[in-house]
Structure 1
Amino acid sequence: MGKYQIAVLSGDYIGPEIMKAGLKVLQAVSKDKNFDYEIKELPFGGAAIDKTGDPLPQETLDKCKASDAILLAAIGGPKWDQSPKRPEEGLLAIRKSLGLFANIRPTNISSVMKPYSPIKITDPVDFVIVRELTSGIYFGQPKSQTKDEAIDTMRYNADEITRVTKIAFDMAMKRKHHVTLVDKANVLATSKLWRQIVGAIAKKYPKVTYDTSYVDAAAMKIISDPFQFDVVLTENLFGDILSDEAAQITGSLGTIPSMSKGQTGPALYEPIHGSAPDIAGKGIADPISMIKSVAMMLDNSFNRSDLAQEIYLAIDRSINKKVTTPDLGGTSSTQEVTEEIIKSIQESRNEYVTNDVR
């Protein structure tokens, strides 16, 4: 088998800093583990605007389509606020062009992360939000704005709902067999359609417990009782808001990865945070979200859960040793956190070899 092709979109401000960290960990964890890959670094976002005038150059899109997976750091920032094209346009365009209709964000609070959570953690927190990504109010037409009036249209069709619902239920079958649909069916026609379609699909998964929650109630439950969730399925706008709220209860947005996927083609992996212009170049950006995105890629695109678990365990050991960046109350640099995670991977392997010889 040839080398896996990984497209790398380093992006803007802290983007290149954390991407460098993620690739260093990928190199360390894959060493001597029968995982051969080739990196294709491509311009995207603000960096691409500076270089080509377009946030998503055609060459970048073509090479992403030909890749086995895509790693994206972070894009955008004040530099391009007055630009005719904004970096975020590239993000919407790549999602649409690659058919990345499902965004998956895990919320996992491990034992070492409990002290960092702003809520009281009594039981394990481990759920994922599956958000429909390419339809809804962000894409619906008509969309217009005048001096006195603005119009946004929330629109969904059956196929869009069906395909993301199947991803959520298939995921639940590999987890704790529970799906919660979050909507506003007491008000919105689109939510009523979601309930109709999701309810019918749920009957095809008898091993999965299926329930529903209004979005306002779900927002409260994520704070007061997050332990009840397994797979949360929701539409684009609600998912955008709830996934950031869920990330915050872990203690830092700088620790959360995400995956966007379609029915075919490569998946895209990225941290959920922005490009953080205020700390760019200071060497203090938290690399954990990017490193976890690498782990998520290894697990989901390449079926290397063994390598992914090595990364997750090394991250926990690093946090447990208080080798953290300022967002987690530490004083370590991006480089120091990265080096500690790599050191932990190497020490764990050496210990395994020593014990195996004995």
Structure 2
Amino acid sequence: MTAAPRKRVLILPGDGIGPEILAQTRRVVDWFVARRALPADLYEEPFGIPAYRAHGSFLRDETWDEIEAADAILFGAIGSPEYDTIPGAAEGAGLMRMRTELGLFINLRPVRAAAPLHAVSPLKAEVLRQTDLVIVRELTGGIYTGKPRGIETVDGVRRGVNTMIYSEPEIERITRAAFDLARTRRKRVCSVDKSNVLEVSRLWREVVQRLRDTAYSDVELTHLFVDNAAMQLVRAPAQFDVLLTENLFGDILSDIGAAAAGSIGMLPSASMTGMDADGPARHRALYEPIHGSAPDIAGKGIANPCGAILSFAMCLRHSFLRPDDAALLEAATIATIENGARTADIARPGQPTLSTAEMGSAILRELDAMADGWPAAARA
């Protein structure tokens, strides 16, 4: 039996609370390297405002070389009021470049309503029970990247222009990803669109339905308009298994899904490349919590690191192909919360709260307690 190949893992803390949450994530990565023999080589680079302060560039060429060399990227957050004060700064440009140039068109956003957090969700416990869904969001097309775009003046009137555009191949490849995922779960896909208004959505629905009928007849397919989907996510989230969306709709719906999780600080995500005809190509992926940079609490040491840590669990599952280790980290995180460890965003009124670093330490203690009874990781 040969040892599993080592993987390059690049840590990009980014802006706002990114450095705080990824410091805790790195402690967890180090634990898996030491205790579970994870074959990971770690690298770290500044990104965004910290990189600009140190080097005069938001994304240095040296950092881009590391991004291209990485097998997996652990990303913190992008966004800061400082971008508005720097001439020519384009907030989010570096993240968009990674998504498009690395071909990370599959974005997975799992939403689980863990029982210990039912009490802090705005939704009723009976609504939350058995909620376990994945939003499959197309990440490199649609209105975020379509052209023409910009702000222009026509006949003395300023107007903003963005273009939503999808080709049949773009729709088909993300649809295949959703159906393939559904086959590993409960074999149900709900495709979200706005086909009563948008021509792009009419093509989307046509392609999704055709692919299901010709290649995935074993998977149940339903369609919802995006406004109805938003309502259903808060009315009855447990009805969904895999929710397939284009770029903008997925961005919005996953934040709504945070209501089921108890806090947006709990939600992880993975952005990945596709598959070659012969199987996995060089698998590249970026893992990040969905919560953003939260500049209002940056530097206070109170951010919830669970979304970032659970994003690393997705890295264990999808990049390292170690589902037992992923399940261990997920179980340890939930057990930590169940045992009463809470950051401010997931605490009930009057309940003691932990700092970001204290929450990281609590999860590490739970990992120590659970590790000996957990199955050994496959290393083939």
Q: What is the TM-score normalised by the length of structure 2? A: 0.89
* Corresponding residue SS for 1:81: helix
Q: Distance in 2 between matches of 1:35 and 1:148?
A: 54
Q: Decide whether the 8 Å contact of 1:140 with 1:155 is kept in 2.
A: yes
* Corresponding residue SS for 1:201: helix
- Higher mean C-alpha deviation, range 259-268 or range 337-346: 259-268
Kindly state the Cα deviation for residue 276 of structure 1 after the two structures are TM-superposed: 1.6
Residue in structure 1 matched with residue 50 of structure 2 by the alignment? 47
Correspondence 1:326-341 to 2 at 5 A: 326-329=344-347, 330-341=352-363
Q: Distance in 2 between matches of 1:25 and 1:237?
A: 32
Correspondence 1:9-24 to 2 at 5 A: 9-24=12-27
Q: Distance in 1 between matches of 2:15 and 2:205?
A: 39
Gaps of 5+ in 1: 354-358
Residue in structure 2 matched with residue 356 of structure 1 by the alignment? none
Q: Distance in 1 between matches of 2:284 and 2:217?
A: 30
Q: 1:32 to 1:332 in 2, by over 3 A?
A: closer
Q: 1:53 to 1:161 in 2, by over 3 A?
A: farther
Residue in structure 1 matched with residue 63 of structure 2 by the alignment? 60
Matched, 1:144 2:166: no
Gaps of 5+ in 2: 275-280, 376-380
* Corresponding residue SS for 1:31: helix
Please point out which of 324, 345, 350 is paired with 2:342. Answer: 324
Residue in structure 1 matched with residue 227 of structure 2 by the alignment? 216
Please point out which of 116, 138, 141 is paired with 1:135. Answer: 141
Q: Distance in 2 between matches of 1:245 and 1:69?
A: 27
Q: Distance in 1 between matches of 2:202 and 2:169?
A: 15
Aligned length: 353
Kindly state the Cα deviation for residue 54 of structure 1 after the two structures are TM-superposed: 3.4
Please point out which of 39, 46, 50 is paired with 1:36. Answer: 39
Matched, 1:251 2:255: no
Correspondence 1:165-180 to 2 at 5 A: 165-180=175-190
Residue in structure 1 matched with residue 365 of structure 2 by the alignment? 343
Matched, 1:315 2:319: no
Query: What residue identity is the alignment partner of 1:220?
Result: M
Q: Distance in 2 between matches of 1:211 and 1:317?
A: 35
Correspondence 1:178-193 to 2 at 5 A: 178-193=188-203
Kindly state the Cα deviation for residue 335 of structure 1 after the two structures are TM-superposed: 1.3
Q: Decide whether the 8 Å contact of 2:134 with 2:242 is kept in 1.
A: yes
Q: Distance in 1 between matches of 2:63 and 2:181?
A: 30
Cα root mean square deviation, aligned: 1.6
Residue in structure 1 matched with residue 100 of structure 2 by the alignment? 96
- Higher mean C-alpha deviation, range 233-242 or range 137-146: 137-146
Q: Distance in 2 between matches of 1:60 and 1:235?
A: 29
* Corresponding residue SS for 1:213: strand
* Corresponding residue SS for 1:257: coil
CA deviations on 1:226-251 (whole Å, 9 max, x unpaired) are 11101111111111111111123211
Report runs of 4+ in structure 1 exceeding 3 Å deviation: 51-54, 350-353
Matched, 1:115 2:126: no
Residue in structure 1 matched with residue 173 of structure 2 by the alignment? 163
Q: Distance in 2 between matches of 1:293 and 1:137?
A: 26
CA deviations on 1:327-353 (whole Å, 9 max, x unpaired) are 112411111111111111111234669
Residue in structure 2 matched with residue 262 of structure 1 by the alignment? 273
Correspondence 1:257-296 to 2 at 5 A: 257-263=268-274, 264=281, 265-296=283-314
Q: Distance in 2 between matches of 1:197 and 1:51?
A: 47
Over the matched positions of the two proteins, sequence identity in percent amounts to 42
Query: What residue identity is the alignment partner of 2:169?
Result: D
Query: What residue identity is the alignment partner of 2:144?
Result: Y
- Higher mean C-alpha deviation, range 174-183 or range 246-255: 246-255
- Higher mean C-alpha deviation, range 58-67 or range 325-334: 58-67
Q: Distance in 2 between matches of 1:295 and 1:311?
A: 6
Q: Decide whether the 8 Å contact of 1:99 with 1:262 is kept in 2.
A: yes
Q: Distance in 1 between matches of 2:173 and 2:61?
A: 27
Residue in structure 1 matched with residue 278 of structure 2 by the alignment? none
* Corresponding residue SS for 2:298: coil
Q: Decide whether the 8 Å contact of 2:182 with 2:189 is kept in 1.
A: yes
Q: Distance in 1 between matches of 2:312 and 2:265?
A: 14
Matched, 1:7 2:10: yes
Query: What residue identity is the alignment partner of 1:301?
Result: S
Q: Distance in 2 between matches of 1:143 and 1:154?
A: 10
Kindly state the Cα deviation for residue 86 of structure 1 after the two structures are TM-superposed: 2.8
Q: Distance in 2 between matches of 1:65 and 1:276?
A: 27
Q: Distance in 1 between matches of 2:76 and 2:160?
A: 33
Q: Decide whether the 8 Å contact of 1:15 with 1:73 is kept in 2.
A: yes
Q: Distance in 1 between matches of 2:273 and 2:25?
A: 23
- Higher mean C-alpha deviation, range 98-107 or range 108-117: 108-117
Q: Distance in 2 between matches of 1:61 and 1:159?
A: 28
Q: Distance in 1 between matches of 2:162 and 2:15?
A: 29
Q: Distance in 1 between matches of 2:11 and 2:172?
A: 31
